[in-house]
Amino acid sequence: MAISPEMITQAAIASFAQSDNPRLKQIMQSLVKHLHAFAQETHLTEAEWMAGIQFLTATGHKCDDVRQEFILLSDTLGLSMLLVAMHDGAQSGATEATVLGPFHTPDAPAMASGSDLSNSAPGEPLYVTGRVLSADGKALAHARIDVWQADAEGLYDVQRSELGGNRRARGVVESDAEGNFSFWSVLPEAYPVPTDGPVGQMLVANGRHPWRPAHIHFLIEAQGYQPLVTHIFREGDRYLDTDVVFGVRPSLVGKFVAHKKGNAPDGRVMTEDYWSMDYAFKLQPI
């Protein structure tokens, strides 16, 4: 009797039936089901699947201690952001989450609130003020606010070998008794995700651009609350609607206000024009 494609799919699904790990069994059976449906729907040829295998092999070869091309693939296919959106607690009034991205470092310098984190990063000065609150509006003191961003040239400090590991436009500040915090940095600019690997080739082959709209990353932690991983995006950025990793949520677009030189709100005398941005972050209880 000839074996039909449906019989192959059923046999492959059934091959996991004896698994004694119910979650692994569910994931593997669903993966096989959808993988086979994908091949059927697209009438995938063996040559096309071989090209796919070569692409995945190249993706693996591009990975090393600091470069994770598979995460970039997950990001650019929208899978990373889908998982974030599926699991975040924003329904209850908390700030929406977005992707962590590859440029977070665990060793950002701790600075007093109000400090200048820029460390000579190129860019126009930016004064950021914020509050950390519970989803129902209670001020959260002693929250840890871990911040990182690209500079005016669209580069993170970790992408600049000339810095020799020194940190720039990155730091950790703490909220005060009223949940307030502030810092100085530079106005972030849009930047492309790394395009010198197979994911970059995939974007080009499909006529997609590699750009992320300008943003500042925040990882906010407070005792008794779920950590919040998010960004605040620059209002008006040309890539807000086409972020290559699908990370933009309208509630995360911040107002960046331009100011003429003079006295800044914290008393700093600015000899050049500067910007400010204010945002209230709301955390979800554990």
Amino acid letter, 119:
N
The one among 56, 103, 139, 159 contacting ligand BEZ by CB under 6 A: 103
**Shortest approach of ligand BEZ to residue 28 CB, angstroms?**
28
Binding mask 178-217 for ligand BEZ (x = CB under 6 A): ---------------x------------------x-----
At its nearest, how many Å lie between Fe ion and the CB of residue 101? Answer: 5
Stretch that binds ligand BEZ, among 86-94, 99-107, 121-129, 264-272 (CB under 6 A): 99-107
Residue 11 three-state SS: helix
Stretch that binds ligand BEZ, among 22-30, 96-104, 167-175, 181-189 (CB under 6 A): 96-104
Whether the CB-CB separation of 275 and 127 falls below 8 Å is answered with: yes
Q: Which residue carries 């991983």 as its tokens?
A: 229
Instruction: State the minimum distance, in angstroms, from the CB of residue 148 to Fe ion.
Output: 8
> What is the pattern of x (binds ligand BEZ, CB under 6 A) and - over residues 120-159?
----------------------------------------
Cα dihedral: 30, 33, 34, 35 (round 10)? 110
Among 89, 101, 123, 200, binds ligand BEZ (CB under 6 A): 101
Instruction: Give the count of residues interacting with ligand BEZ (CB under 6 A).
Output: 9
CB atoms within 10 A of CB 145: 23
Cβ 149 vs Cβ 215: under 8 Å:
yes
Question: In the complex with ligand BEZ, which residue's Cβ is closer, 132 or 245?
Answer: 245
Answer yes or no whether residue 249 interacts with ligand BEZ by CB under 6 A.
no
Residue 24's alpha-carbon distances to 29, 34, 82, 138, in angstroms, are 8, 15, 20, 40
Q: How far is the CB of 160 from ligand BEZ (least distance, A)?
A: 15
Task: Write out the residues near ligand BEZ by the rule CB under 6 A.
Answer: 72, 75, 99, 101-103, 193, 212, 245
